[in-house]
Structure 1
């Protein structure tokens, strides 16, 4: 159900399975990052919904095994509602069907693991909130058909990530600082 008309609707619907996520205001970080991603690509964030599962390494390893045949933990997984990927390497993916503020369209689901995210942030010497924001941006881009398997696609996706994070005041995650 959507909020009152004068209150912006939540783009992200977060389910927290691991209570460690509660210490970093994940719901707020996810909302800001997802909105920034859609706005950067000229989509109205109020016309979409994204489900986010905040879990641990054990849970994400099961999901990774079930959906990608990789029985190991990872930082973030995405399940797009549609295949919007570009046919040619480095081209912009198709645009998703937009819903409306009253009836938003689901872009898909994202899962993020506390253990891997916290470890990666510590190893890189980055604030956990910045790393999590980056991974949410990354996951939303996957929902929108962006990928990083082919070189041209990776360059396009990383360029968007860097620009979005820069607008959010977060350093380029692909450059050593």
Structure 2
């Protein structure tokens, strides 16, 4: 594990966003690379998340975390992992819905996004199992419970 620089951009105007120190801790724990690197974590509201999710994934709704791995032009080596865009209102809603502490869910979103930046994915079952097991291990190392053991609450009627 090597040093990771975290550039935090909080453009969300609401409450409940964790401290920069927590983002640095979570991202650093999930950086499995051998070389120093840098990641930008941008905290946004629903509109920016929905716009990016629609533009890059074709889904016209806000989402919890988007990962944008850095792709250097040929012959250029820059120590950038990429960007994470995390939607604060979605994270808050999911934490409540899944009966998780907000801090644990924020930590999971950072860990999940950081693994995507490093090439992990959950498109097929085998890849999903590898990624989820790694997420569970990293979350336990950070002192949080298994993020996939949740109790969904009934939707409001």
Q: Is the 8 A contact 1:75 1:112 kept in 2?
A: yes
Question: Which of the residues 5, 8, 18 maps onto 1:25?
Answer: 18
Number of residue pairs aligned between Structure 1 and Structure 2: 145
Match of 1:143 in 2: 117
Match of 2:97 in 1: 123
Distance 1:176 1:59 in 2: 27
TM value normalised by structure 2: 0.84
TM value normalised by structure 1: 0.75
Distance 2:23 2:8 in 1: 8
C-alpha displacement at 1:154, in angstroms? 0.3
After superposition, the CA RMSD in angstroms is 2.0
**Structure 1 unaligned regions, length at least 5:** 1-8, 84-98
Distance 1:142 1:131 in 2: 16
Q: Is the 8 A contact 1:29 1:129 kept in 2?
A: no
Question: Which of the residues 66, 88, 98 maps onto 1:77?
Answer: 66
C-alpha displacement at 1:105, in angstroms? 0.6
Q: Which runs of 4+ in 1 moved over 6 A?
A: none
**Structure 2 unaligned regions, length at least 5:** 152-157
